[in-house]
């Protein structure tokens, strides 16, 4: 698709084509930094260094602090982290307003929060 200038694909939610340069960086990272970055042995420490460098680069691009940035494995994990994490830090109210067109990865955590006593309002 990237090679076809006539094609304008606008639904980049979960189906965005990966730029070849990005795929190359990911491939290299997966081959060279395969170890768990939380482990204490050499390969893990090198993976942690690479992860921290990537986090710092992305944070600079976004204008935030590295410690404010979390990498997740997918949109569903990100939505869960955002929704369930946000309510745990709130010090006021239990109201949540959401559109009626949300992805199941948003709907399911909200259903859980409703069962926990949050007032979830769905706007059609």
Ordered by start, the domain boundaries in the chain are 1-71, 75-123
Whose CA is closest to 124, among 102, 108, 109?
102
Angle between helices 75-89 and 104-115 (to 10 degrees): 30
Give the per-residue pLDDT at 32: 95
Q: The pTM is what?
A: 0.66
The per-residue pLDDT string of the chain (124 residues; one tens digit each, 9 = 90 and over) reads 456 777 766 666 667 778 899 899 999 999 999 999 999 999 999 999 999 999 999 999 999 999 999 888 888 999 999 998 888 888 788 899 999 888 899 999 999 999 999 999 999 8
Q: Is the dihedral of CA 109, 83, 97, 62 positive or negative?
A: negative
Give the per-residue pLDDT at 2: 57
């Amino acid at each position: 698709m990237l090679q076809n200038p006539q094609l304008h694909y606008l639904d980049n939610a979960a189906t965005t084509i990966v730029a070849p340069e990005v795929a190359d960086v990911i491939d290299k990272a997966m081959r060279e930094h395969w170890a768990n970055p939380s482990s204490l042995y050499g390969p893990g420490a090198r993976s942690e260094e690479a992860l921290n460098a990537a986090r710092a680069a992305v944070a600079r691009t976004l204008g935030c602090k590295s410690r404010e940035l979390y990498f997740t494995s997918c949109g569903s994990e990100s939505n869960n982290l955002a929704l369930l994490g946000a309510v745990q830090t709130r010090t006021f109210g239990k109201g949540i307003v959401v559109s009626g067109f949300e992805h199941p990865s948003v709907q399911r955590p909200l259903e859980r929060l409703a069962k926990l006593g949050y007032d979830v309002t769905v706007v059609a």
